[in-house]
Amino acid sequence: MSQPVKIKNALISVYYKDNLEPIIHELNRLNVQIYSTGGTETFIRNLGVSVVPVEDLTSYPSILGGRVKTLHPKIFGGILTRREHEGDQQQIAEYEIPEIDLVIVDLYPFEETVASGAAEEDVVEKIDIGGISLIRAAAKNFKDVTIMASKNDYNELENILKTQNGETTLAQRKAFARKAFHISSHYDSAIFNYFNREEPLQIFKQSIEPAQTLRYGENPHQQGIFYGDLNQLFDKLGGKELSYNNLVDVDAAVALIDEFEEPTVAILKHTNACGIASKNSISEAWEAALACDPVSAFGGVIITNGEVDAATATEISKLFFEVLIAPAYQEDAVKILTSKKNRIILLRKPIGLPSKLFKTLLNGVIEQDKDLVIEGPQQMQTVTEVKPTEQELKDLFFANKVVKHTKSNTIVLAKNSMLIASGVGQTSRVDALKQAIVKAETFGFDLQSSVMASDAFFPFPDCVEIAADAGISAILQPGGSIKDQDSIQMANQKHIAMVTTGVRHFKH
């Protein structure tokens, strides 16, 4: 059965008044008695609609600076009373408690206050007590009460009032209750995580909204959903919706490009850079990045840390790509890039990203800090007789940034702030190096005076020997193997430079 409930009495107490006016007028048309508090009461009265102050119902004023307004048996009794329960009905009659059939309430802006950088005292004052209690009470009694806990649902409520003559069905009330419990749990999670920053309890608690249904997951037979607000990060200037795989690549691209200050362009395939270069301009960086591996670049994700002009856009448009991300575009560049409707063109906004990473694993979740460390020339300790030149140090720094964002086991070869080749995701570091050398030679790169970076130490000297024989003149590795001296001795024997950083950058 639908179990319709006619709305006779409503309690309205909201922080945000957006789009509330049409609902007030509909309730007034339906002769619904409205109870309200503070600013909401004034808002309703200014619309020319009759409203009863909560204080008149409870016979208690708002006290403690507004901390206590609705916390009273005449309010919660009216919400929680069961219409078909004889004992409940006898008690509300005895204590002259009106049945409250509709509760419209929202919560103080806790998350917004935290995000503003407000002092703890101000944040604590935005922990709602009465509002959260009203939401839970009304949602619990959904069989008899309609709870409206978000202004996003006002249009739906307005339509119900207009088309159903002020009656709600059980299915509608239960659906609103489900949304209300989400709002209350999301709010509590935000409060917990705020208080759990210092000496944290080891408890994983996340609530992320909104959600976007994707075309499919990693493969067409898998469903996919993205939880989060992409509009905070990007303005989409053109193209289709981002897919699951697009999002994974975009995440990797953003993390990589943020390592670079010089004009840089990167091209990624399956989260790994197949081309990346830092040059004097974005146009030069694009030309060099594409030259790294023009075959793999086909269908890739492109990202840059500088403005894309019309000339660069024309060159980029010669390549089939899935996504292009930049912090700025010239107007003519946008016209060129959006001439093909399926290309996804994203304008990146300057917003910070979370410092924690987590993913599901087995029957739980693993969490870690993001790898935000990167070692420059100052952290590179020369361990060989031959010292790296200034250019080699610069290229080693470049290569170290790339290797940090490449799947392990990996080897990265670089020269003149440009990726020459990489060996990606190999089970053997020797295989990773051989793969990189073959790729570099395939695209005609001269490995003489190039540099090599490894995401982990060398337990054996074989990689050092292979690299030196290929013409590589300087090597970067974290060090830490009990056989470090074997690799250092091989580098000395081959008259090449080696530096260690003391930091490993695995990426699984």
Enzyme catalytic residues: 140, 270
For residues 104 and 12, is the Cβ–Cβ distance under 8 A?
Answer: yes
What span, in angstroms and rounded, lies between the C-alpha atoms of 345 and 281? 20
Q: What is the CB neighbour count within 10 angstroms for residue 298?
A: 14
Give the 3-state secondary structure of residue 167. strand
Task: Name 19's Cβ contacts closer than 8 Å, sequence gap at least 6.
Answer: 151, 154, 155
Q: What is the CB neighbour count within 10 angstroms for residue 169?
A: 16
How far the first Cα of the chain sits from its last, in Å, is 53
| 3-state SS, one letter per residue, for 364-425 | EEEEEECCCCCCCHHHCEECCCCCCCHHHHHHHHHHHHHHHCCCCCCEEEECCCEEEEEECC
Q: What is the largest CA-CA distance in the chain?
A: 98
Q: In whole angstroms, how far apart are CA 462 and each of 422, 430, 433?
A: 17, 7, 10
- Look up residue 478 and give its DSSP letter: -
| Exposure string over 30-49, b if 16+ CB within 10 A, otherwise e | bebbbbbbeebbebbeeeeb
For residue 167, the Cα-to-chain-centroid distance in whole angstroms is 40
What span, in angstroms and rounded, lies between the C-alpha atoms of 161 and 344? 42
Classify burial at 193, counting beta carbons within 10 Å of its beta carbon; exposed 0-12, middle 13-18, buried 19 or more.
middle
What span, in angstroms and rounded, lies between the C-alpha atoms of 177 and 175? 5
State the Rg of the chain over Cα: 31
What span, in angstroms and rounded, lies between the C-alpha atoms of 508 and 431? 17
Task: Name 97's Cβ contacts closer than 8 Å, sequence gap at least 6.
Answer: 73, 74, 77, 78, 81, 91
What span, in angstroms and rounded, lies between the C-alpha atoms of 240 and 255? 23
Structure tokens at 44: 């309703």
What is the dihedral sign for C-alpha 273, 275, 280, 281? negative
